[in-house]
Amino acid sequence: MSPASTNATTTSDHESATLLDGKGLAGQIEIALRTRVDAIKAKSGRIPILATILVGDDPASATYVRMKSNACKRVGMDSIKVEMPSVTTTEQLIAKITELNNNQDVHGILLQHPVPNHVDERACFEKIALRKDVDGVTCLGFGRMSMQESAFGSCTPQGIMHLLRHHNIELAGKEAVVVGRSAILGKPMAMMLLNSNCTVTICHSKTQDLAAHVKRADIIVGAVGVPELIKAEWIKEGAVVIDAGFHPTENGGVGDIEMRGVKNIASAYTPVPGGVGPMTINTLIRQTVTAAEKSAGLDVSMIS
């Protein structure tokens, strides 16, 4: 991709690569969400409610759930926090999900990943009713999203797509390389880019010569969970660089992509932190508002 072929910014040496500021965009979207929440209240007398389920006592998961509840509050929504002990069985978790599916006050259900090893996480995800699957974790939701039918997309890739669209980044015909193939991130990301007419390569731990694939990428997504695995020297001039990873360090943190110097090579890039993370939470909240709009009989599309 030549620098001029994306609508992202650019100078000839990309000194002013576009910062894909997820934090800023999420803040803007929250303002619009408050208005949508008010409209739901006016129409139905109810406010959107997200139920979060946390199993066990993993501190990082507890922090993520707290951040999601706080985001609900900021837009005038409510959240129900369900906390279950680490000894919870698959059957007990499914019973709780079924109860929340049947609770008319609940519009969206988030089961915080990961659950303890003895729990069949996939079986539990699959029990979430499609209309409440605002985190986009069910096979049915994934299949429908892939076929471009009405469904909520997995939040991290959906948030990345929103960020790309907001910055008018041209996708059709571009070579996209997604490093990682997890059910919540890599696979749906690849499918969303494919649906936006990219030519998509998915890399994983068995990929031979990762560098060669990354070097071809007009759009590179790091979704791998290994600090700075993807090297700055592999990034093609003018590429759009999306880093979903975050690994705390003494100096703040790094992502899955080595960012040193990337600003001078890329045409656009996500900061770490402040790029993909805020868009993930924002997408969860936005999709819950959409679920509540549908439940209130407001005319909306689930693909938001």
Nearest to 177 by CA among 162, 189, 163, 165: 189
Task: Judge whether 263 counts as a catalytic residue.
Answer: no
Task: Judge whether 231 counts as a catalytic residue.
Answer: no
- Output 140 or 229, the one with its CB closest to ligand NAP: 229
Classified as helix, coil or strand, 104 is: coil
Residues contacting 164, CB < 8 A, separation 6+: 20, 171, 219, 240, 242
Q: Which of residues 189-228 bind ligand NAP (CB under 6 A)?
A: 203-207, 210, 223-226
- Mark 145-164 with x for binding to ligand NAP (rule: CB under 6 A) and - for no binding: -----------x--------
- Output 140 or 183, the one with its CB closest to ligand NAP: 183
The answer to whether residue 245 forms part of the interface with ligand NAP (CB under 6 A) is: yes
From 111, 184, 200, 214, residue interacting with ligand NAP (rule: CB under 6 A)? 184
How far is Cα 132 from Cα 110, in angstroms, rounded to an integer? Answer: 9
Task: Judge whether 135 counts as a catalytic residue.
Answer: yes
Nearest to 1 by CA among 189, 248, 220: 220
With contacts defined by CB under 6 A, name the span among 129-137, 144-152, 234-242, 275-283 that binds ligand NAP: 275-283
CB-count burial class (<10 Å; 0-12, 13-18, 19+) for 234: buried
Nearest to 189 by CA among 224, 232, 226, 216: 224
| From 21, 127, 132, 135, active-site residue | 135
- Output 146 or 182, the one with its CB closest to ligand NAP: 182
With contacts defined by CB under 6 A, name the span among 118-126, 131-139, 174-182, 287-295 that binds ligand NAP: 174-182
Retrieve residue 295's tokens: 């439940």
Return the beta strands (E) in the chain as ranges: 18-19, 49-55, 78-84, 108-111, 175-179, 199-203, 219-222, 240-243, 268-269
The answer to whether residue 185 forms part of the interface with ligand NAP (CB under 6 A) is: yes
Residue corresponding to tokens 């001039």: 237
Q: Please name the amino acid found at residue 83.
A: E
- Mark 225-244 with x for binding to ligand NAP (rule: CB under 6 A) and - for no binding: xx--x--------------x
Which positions lie near ligand NAP, rule CB under 6 A? Answer: 156, 179-182, 184-186, 203-207, 210, 223-226, 229, 244-246, 256, 276-277, 280
Which residues does the annotation mark as catalytic?
Answer: 68, 112, 135
